[in-house]
Structure 1
Amino acid sequence: MVAVFNKELLSWYLITLKLRETVESAGNISTTPTSTKSIEFPDQPLQHQQLHKQQQEPSDSVQIFIKNDGQNFEEVPKSPESDWVVTIREKLDHARQDDALSSWSKLCIYRIPHYLREGDDKAYVPQIVSLGPYHHGKKRLRQMDRHKWRSLHRFLKRTNSDIKLYLESVKELEEKARACYEGPISMSSNEFVEMMVLDGCFVLELLRGVCEGFKQLGYPRNDPVFAMRGSMHSIQRDMIMLENQIPLFILDRLLGLQLGDPGQKGLVAKLTLQFFDPLMPTDEPLTKSDRNKLESSLGYTTSFDPLSDQGALHCLDVFRRSLLRSGPQPTPKVWIKKWSHANRVADKRRQQLIHCVTELRESGIKFKKRKTDRFWDVKFKNGILRIPRLLIHDGTKSLFLNLIALEQCHLDCSNDITSYVIFMDNLINSPEDVGHLHYCGIIEHWLGSDAEVSDLFNKLCQEVVFDINDSYLSRLSEEVNRYYNHRWNAWRASLKHNYFGNPWAIISLVAAVVLLLLTFAQTFYGVYDFYKPHN
């Protein structure tokens, strides 16, 4: 490094460089060419000095830098950063921006993880209509767009309002709505707001049409979409999928604008429950007396009022809350809970809650249908496992898979649906298990055979991360397993099964016992006569 401290030395240094270049050129010596433009001195503007230094840079990568006083100069070797380091710095800068813009606390509409998709991708992907940004614009779903615009037209015409009112109102919620979706949404502000308004009004028209009647909303009875036809069931299945959700506060705002009360909340949730009622996994009718007995025995009401709870996230979350409505959930023991949170496991061997139906029957456990409309409320007492009635149809698989995905992704959700499904998966290992539960009135299905029901439950939780100690059914499972492991119960069940299973077996047993008693009596009197002294 060479340091020059005044103008005179700098001048002599530059003149020397110029002479050296002239001599080398005259002697045909091959050197790295240098610029021969005019020499600038420090009393000239700073930009000229820097330009001059770049032109005077020697072949050995030497640069001249000006110090703060404007009089002193310094030569240092040039050390440029490699392209690899620059690329890494750019990636870190993008990560910093992504981390700063992301609001994980508001995330509630997730993309289905790949480890869950491997089971059945069709159960998570809409087949008719797309809602929200995840499947927006897909070619096979575009044919529904014209019906969306048609519904928006009727929506505005019926209320005699201007679209600008809805666009401006939703635009105020754009940032909050974007935060509900996972990852960056590659849509402009106008495109995103347009999608929210279009999809949101389409959802509201469907909800109100099913609850109030499409005819009341002005749709003809032969409408291809807005009518109670076969396509409505497929639309309901698409609207219950996790990736196909609209934030509930967007729907509340749109319905509030339509009704003249933008701040209202809860009405969309109420409409949602009526709209998704055909997808309920149970239709157990309860008489008024049965309901009163159930409420008095449990000490709480079984009714669900969506207007009283304003914390729902979207339509799927509203439906899940209605399934798990009212009532305290059994909690694991304290030491189990501490161990569970410290040791999350995904081992399939640790997801075995109880034995299958066939094995439990061999130990003497009986199965009976429990009268309640809450399909998850299982009870066990005195060797009798009481399970509410479960209705299985062609939409049950998609419904359970999306409910499980929500519980797997959203940390604020309990794992109650997952616990119930795994419990039923443990009970059902074969078509014979399904057949016995159907005989007891516990399972009612519209599928082709008992084997299809067995296959359905065995595939629902193949890749689910679950800890049995966090299940609300863990204590009940311990009681069932304790009863199962008691040998006397198994012996008694075997005796009853082998010798009291049908009338002919009972008659044979009684005859054998009588014959045994007669034989014993004959032997006794024979021995007695032999040893009795004669008079």
Structure 2
Amino acid sequence: MVAVFNKEMLSWYLLTLKLNETVVQANHLRSQPSTPGTPSKPPPLLLTRGEPIIPEQQQEEDEEKAAVAAPLESEWVITIREKLEQAAHEEVTVPWARFSIYRVPKSLREGDEKAYVPQVVSIGPYHHGKRRFRDMDRHKWRALHRVLRRTGHDVQVYLDAARALEDRARACYEGRVVLSSDEFVEIMVLDGTFVLELFRGATGGGEGFRELGYDRNDPVFAMRGTMHSIQRDMIMLENQLPLFVLDRLLGLQIGRPDQHGLVARLAIRFFDPLMPTDESLRKGDRAKLESSNGGDESFDPLMETGFHCLDVFRRSLLRVGPKPTPRLWIKRWSHIRRVADRRRQQLIHCVTELRSAGIKFRRRKTDRFWDIKFSDGVLKIPRLLIHDGTKSLFLNLIAFEQCYTDCSKDITSYVIFMNNLINSEEDVSYLHYRGIIEQWLGNDGEVADLFNKLCQEVVFDFDDSYLSELSERVNRYYNHRWNTWGASLKHRYFGNPWAFISLVAAVFLLVLTCAQTFYSMYAYYSPPSI
């Protein structure tokens, strides 16, 4: 009995020693700094069914639990790492600087979706394959067949030339073009040939189509009513082909594969009906104006480079383009503050307010609609023609300037300036009366609404505008009180002859009254001597 008791006491004694050893070891580990991957606290000693679990067993159970939970975390981390690798690959491989044919941002589309989406013909990969363009696709194949029969070339010549330019052409489009190599090359050849046939046929008032072999009653390749819709679609930003592809295809047709510049010249002639300038000046007085300027500011497409037809058309509108000399402090400030402030897009006051300050409006005789001048209280603005295609034209030009960072914002500056001038139907009516605006939309209210919608969601920096210095001079003249008082006096008393006669009579009576008062007082204080 004593042996059993001593044996039982010995077991409890050994267990107490083991527990004491475990506690000492735990205190020693807790006093040491933890390292990554090492637990800061030792696993507690647990008892299960009256039997102790040593720390090594607890660590094994924890490792088993961690092994079960690890796959869920690792899959999540692996997914994140794959996305980061994809972003890094895109950062290296995507040629951001080479983009020139963009998708119009969603913020701009909200104003008028139809102005950016072609309705009759699709050019390039963005709108290729849509159902509404299937009828026009048949005419594209007719154009390619006509070119091959006229030149005697095999189609493989054009396919090989386009394939050699495929990588360079793909780099011009923003975003990933989900087309195979064969499909992309086919679009370049088919659409490019169609565009060139239109360019070449539209010269000479439509006689070019007959010279190319098309019938005078052809539904597409003739100067018919559908041509205006085709021109309007082909000037859209999302409906473009790289200019170097068109140059190569035209060079193969005429036997000069390395030529450049001819397509730009043909494009300017083709899109001439969309010009928002005075046609009489373009055809009659342009040579006289250029000769008076020395001819150094004329636009020569053979000497200029362009990305696509919209870019060429924009360059032809601006010629060399407005080249102001900004002040140094403006340049420094514009480099510091790169984010445009929408509150500073108000360049000047509207026509009605400027007239109240005595500012006069005159039509400036030039075909450069953007070339606005101000001197001695007179604002001279060239004539602007507004038709049903003007809105789409300006919107796509603005979209290109918004997307292409290295492009000047001259068209955007002009449109915002005119939007500030035109605030109501009365403003449009007065500009039409002065010969500055000629519109074919129906009424002046539609013109005012057009300009007010052109500038929606447009990001613009006032300091980058070539009209900023002119606007400041107009505002200084407007804020001068003497100008406002003089204009008010002229408007109130010199607006019609009866008001002028009344003013003269009132002044005459005032002079007589003053004279009578003077002589009465003079006779009182200095009576005549007797």
Deviations 1:333-392 (A, max 9, x none): 111122122213444321010111011001110000001110000000000000000000
Cα distance change of structure 1 residues 333 and 297 upon mapping to structure 2, 3 Å threshold: farther
Cα distance change of structure 1 residues 197 and 325 upon mapping to structure 2, 3 Å threshold: same
Does the aligned pair in 2 maintain the 1:284–1:372 contact within 8 Å? Answer: no
What CA distance in whole angstroms lies between the structure 1 residues aligned with 2:144 and 2:459? Answer: 42
Match of 1:240 among 235, 256, 260: 235
Asked whether 1:304 is paired with 2:299, we answer yes
Does the aligned pair in 2 maintain the 1:354–1:480 contact within 8 Å? Answer: yes
Q: Size of the alignment, in residue pairs?
A: 464
Which residue matches 2:180? 188
Shift of the alpha carbon at 1:305?
Answer: 1.2
Which residue matches 1:45? none
What CA distance in whole angstroms lies between the structure 1 residues aligned with 2:133 and 2:340? Answer: 36
Which residue matches 1:19? none
Does the aligned pair in 2 maintain the 1:284–1:389 contact within 8 Å? Answer: no
Paired amino acid for 1:248: L
1:46-445 mapped onto 2 (5 Å cutoff): 80=71, 82-212=74-204, 213-283=208-278, 285-286=280-281, 294-295=289-290, 301-309=296-304, 311-326=305-320, 329-445=323-439
Q: What secondary structure sits across from 1:110 in the alignment?
A: coil
Shift of the alpha carbon at 1:294?
Answer: 4.7
- Residue identity over aligned pairs, in percent, reads 71
What CA distance in whole angstroms lies between the structure 1 residues aligned with 2:181 and 2:287? Answer: 53
**What are the ranges of 5 or more consecutive residues in structure 1 without an aligned counterpart?**
1-57, 63-75
Shift of the alpha carbon at 1:534?
Answer: 4.2
What CA distance in whole angstroms lies between the structure 1 residues aligned with 2:213 and 2:492? Answer: 67
Structure 1 or 2: more helix by fraction: 2
Does the aligned pair in 1 maintain the 2:192–2:241 contact within 8 Å? Answer: yes
Does the aligned pair in 2 maintain the 1:419–1:471 contact within 8 Å? Answer: yes
Which residue matches 2:27? none
Match of 2:512 among 508, 511, 518: 518
Shift of the alpha carbon at 1:332?
Answer: 2.0
What CA distance in whole angstroms lies between the structure 2 residues aligned with 1:291 and 1:260? Answer: 33
Does the aligned pair in 1 maintain the 2:251–2:258 contact within 8 Å? Answer: yes
Q: What secondary structure sits across from 1:307 in the alignment?
A: coil
Paired amino acid for 1:324: L
Paired amino acid for 2:170: R
Shift of the alpha carbon at 1:303?
Answer: 2.4
Does the aligned pair in 2 maintain the 1:332–1:471 contact within 8 Å? Answer: no
Q: What secondary structure sits across from 1:425 in the alignment?
A: helix
Deviating more after overlay: 429-438 vs 93-102: 93-102
What CA distance in whole angstroms lies between the structure 1 residues aligned with 2:284 and 2:509? Answer: 52
Does the aligned pair in 2 maintain the 1:422–1:461 contact within 8 Å? Answer: yes
Cα distance change of structure 1 residues 396 and 418 upon mapping to structure 2, 3 Å threshold: same
Paired amino acid for 1:273: I
Q: What secondary structure sits across from 2:488 in the alignment?
A: helix
Shift of the alpha carbon at 1:96?
Answer: 3.3
Does the aligned pair in 1 maintain the 2:286–2:367 contact within 8 Å? Answer: no
Does the aligned pair in 2 maintain the 1:108–1:180 contact within 8 Å? Answer: yes
Deviations 1:128-170 (A, max 9, x none): 1111111011111222111111111111111111000000011
What CA distance in whole angstroms lies between the structure 1 residues aligned with 2:100 and 2:471? Answer: 32
Asked whether 1:509 is paired with 2:494, we answer no
**What are the ranges of 5 or more consecutive residues in structure 2 without an aligned counterpart?**
1-59
What CA distance in whole angstroms lies between the structure 2 residues aligned with 1:124 and 1:289? Answer: 33
What CA distance in whole angstroms lies between the structure 1 residues aligned with 2:124 and 2:310? Answer: 14
Cα distance change of structure 1 residues 211 and 295 upon mapping to structure 2, 3 Å threshold: closer
Does the aligned pair in 2 maintain the 1:151–1:202 contact within 8 Å? Answer: yes
Task: Spell out structure 1 runs of 4+ moving beyond 6 A.
Answer: 58-62, 287-290
Deviations 1:442-495 (A, max 9, x none): 000001111110111111011111011110000001110111111111111111
What CA distance in whole angstroms lies between the structure 1 residues aligned with 2:88 and 2:514? Answer: 93
Deviations 1:66-102 (A, max 9, x none): xxxxxxxxxx999546321222233233333333331
Paired amino acid for 1:211: T
Shift of the alpha carbon at 1:523?
Answer: 2.4
What CA distance in whole angstroms lies between the structure 1 residues aligned with 2:432 and 2:458? Answer: 26
TM-score normalized by structure 1?
0.83
Asked whether 1:485 is paired with 2:479, we answer yes
TM-score normalized by structure 2?
0.84
Q: What secondary structure sits across from 1:368 in the alignment?
A: strand
What CA distance in whole angstroms lies between the structure 2 residues aligned with 1:384 and 1:358? Answer: 14
Does the aligned pair in 1 maintain the 2:358–2:377 contact within 8 Å? Answer: yes
Cα root mean square deviation, aligned: 2.2
Does the aligned pair in 2 maintain the 1:284–1:371 contact within 8 Å? Answer: no
Paired amino acid for 2:119: Q
Does the aligned pair in 2 maintain the 1:300–1:326 contact within 8 Å? Answer: no
Paired amino acid for 2:267: T
Q: What secondary structure sits across from 2:142 in the alignment?
A: helix
What CA distance in whole angstroms lies between the structure 2 residues aligned with 1:404 and 1:447? Answer: 21
What CA distance in whole angstroms lies between the structure 2 residues aligned with 1:278 and 1:291? Answer: 16
Shift of the alpha carbon at 1:522?
Answer: 2.5
What CA distance in whole angstroms lies between the structure 2 residues aligned with 1:231 and 1:246? Answer: 21
Paired amino acid for 1:471: S
Cα distance change of structure 1 residues 288 and 141 upon mapping to structure 2, 3 Å threshold: closer
Q: What secondary structure sits across from 2:209 in the alignment?
A: coil
Cα distance change of structure 1 residues 408 and 328 upon mapping to structure 2, 3 Å threshold: closer
Cα distance change of structure 1 residues 381 and 78 upon mapping to structure 2, 3 Å threshold: closer
Q: What secondary structure sits across from 1:367 in the alignment?
A: strand
What CA distance in whole angstroms lies between the structure 2 residues aligned with 1:109 and 1:99? Answer: 19
Shift of the alpha carbon at 1:512?
Answer: 1.2
Does the aligned pair in 1 maintain the 2:264–2:309 contact within 8 Å? Answer: yes
Shift of the alpha carbon at 1:525?
Answer: 2.8
Shift of the alpha carbon at 1:291?
Answer: 5.5
Does the aligned pair in 1 maintain the 2:322–2:410 contact within 8 Å? Answer: no
Cα distance change of structure 1 residues 293 and 526 upon mapping to structure 2, 3 Å threshold: farther
Paired amino acid for 1:147: H
Does the aligned pair in 1 maintain the 2:322–2:466 contact within 8 Å? Answer: no
Deviations 1:34-57 (A, max 9, x none): xxxxxxxxxxxxxxxxxxxxxxxx
Does the aligned pair in 1 maintain the 2:315–2:321 contact within 8 Å? Answer: no
Shift of the alpha carbon at 1:290?
Answer: 6.3
Shift of the alpha carbon at 1:194?
Answer: 0.5
